[in-house]
Amino acid sequence: MAKQRVVILGPNTDDPLHHERAEMADLDVEFIQESPQSEGEAIEAVRGADAIMMRGGWGTEQVIRAADQAKVLAVYSHGFNHIDVDAATDMGIIVTNGAGMCAEEVSNQAVTMALALNRQVVQTTNQLRDSGNWDRSAFLPIEPIDEQTLGIVGFGNIGRQVARKLGQGWRMETLVYDPYVAPWIIREYNVEQVFEINELCARSDYIIVVVPLNTETFHMIGAEQFDHMKKTAYYINVCRGSVTDEPAMIEALKAGKIRGAGLDVFEQEPVDPQNPLLQMNNVITAMHLAGASTRSAWLAPQRASQQVAAVLRGEWPSAGQNPEVTAKLEAKSRMPGSAGKINGPTG
C-alpha cells in the first residue's frame, strides 16, 4: 500500500496525470481521481487524503474539515478565493496555488486592454462594422500613452510584469499600491510606491488591478475610489470581479466619472447578458480568459504538483499562501520528516 494518498478533485477521472506523476516520481504515493457532484461526495472523497489537489470548487469549510489527515491543499489556478483558507489553517493544512503559472498571460491581457483603450481599437472597429460611420471625433483626444501615468494595485508576479511591459516598455510613469511589497522590489522595478489607494486613483491615467480576492480585497475599488479618479482615466480589472464594487463602477461610467474600462472578469460569471457593462461603448470585455494559453495549461498542473511534492517531502512549498499555518504544524505529529522541518517560508 502506498504511504501517502493524493486525492485529485476535478471534472473528470481519466486524466493521465503526466505532470503529477513526474513531479512525485520519487515519492510513494497513490493518486485517486474523483469528480464529486455534491458537497457530500467531496467530503467523502477527501477523507484520509494526505494531499488534495483541486481543479474546481468544493473548497468549503465542511470539505476541508473532513480532510483530517491532509497536509496540503493545492489549487491548479492562480486564484484561490474558492478555498476556505481559514478552515485549512485551523486544520493545519498548507494552502498552495499555481503562482506564476499565468503571470505573462494575465499581464499581457492587462497591457492589451490598456493599449486597446488608448487607441480606441474596439470602439472604432464596432462603429465601422455596425454603421460604416467614419466620424472620428468621438474617439478623440488620444493621449500618448508614454506621457501617461500607470497605477498598479497589487505588485506580485503579475503586477511586476505589467510594470516591466508598460512602465519600462512603453515608458509610462508607474505608481504602485501594495502595502505588503518589499522595498527592494520597488527599487528593482523603478516604480513609485504610494501608501493610500485613493492617491493612486487620483494620480493615474490607467488603473490596473491585479490582487487576489479575499476578505481584505473584496470591493476594495468602490464609489470612493471612482470619485478620486480622473474623468479621463481608464480602469482595468484582470483578477477577480468582486475586487470591484460592480454597481459603483457602472454608476461611475454612466456619470462620466471615468472615461472607460477594460474587464476580463465580472462579479457574476458567466456574466448576465443584460449587464449594463456589456452595452457601454467605452467598456471592452473578455470572458475571464486572461490566464489562458497553451503554456499556462501545462504550467498549472506542473506548479500545483511541485507544491504538493514539496510538502509530502516535509518541505515548505514555494507558493504557500497561509504562512500562519506554521503555528499549527508543531501539533501535527503526522507531518513527515523530523520535527520542525516544515516551519514556514524562511525555514
Q: Could you say which of 78, 240, 246, 303 is catalytic? A: 240
The answer to whether 32 and 70 have CB atoms below 8 angstroms apart is no
Q: Is the dihedral of CA 261, 263, 267, 269 positive or negative?
A: positive
**Residues with Cβ within 8 Å of residue 253, at least 6 apart in sequence:** 260, 261, 277, 280, 282, 283
Residue entry with cell 460569471: 269
41 is catalytic: no
- Tell me the sheet residues that pair with 31: 6
- Tell me the sheet residues that pair with 244: 221
Q: Could you say which of 55, 203, 288, 303 is catalytic? A: 288
Report the alpha-carbon distance of residue 60 to residue 150 in Å, rounded.
37
DSSP-derived 3-state class of residue 267 = coil
55 is catalytic: no
Report the alpha-carbon distance of residue 78 to residue 264 in Å, rounded.
15
Q: Could you say which of 143, 192, 196, 269 is catalytic? A: 269
Question: What number of other Cβ atoms are within 10 A of residue 213's Cβ?
Answer: 19
Report the alpha-carbon distance of residue 199 to residue 210 in Å, rounded.
17
DSSP-derived 3-state class of residue 34 = strand
269 is catalytic: yes
- CA-closest candidate to residue 52, choices 327, 79, 316, 66: 66
- What single-letter amino acid sits at 75? V
Catalytic residues: 240, 269, 288
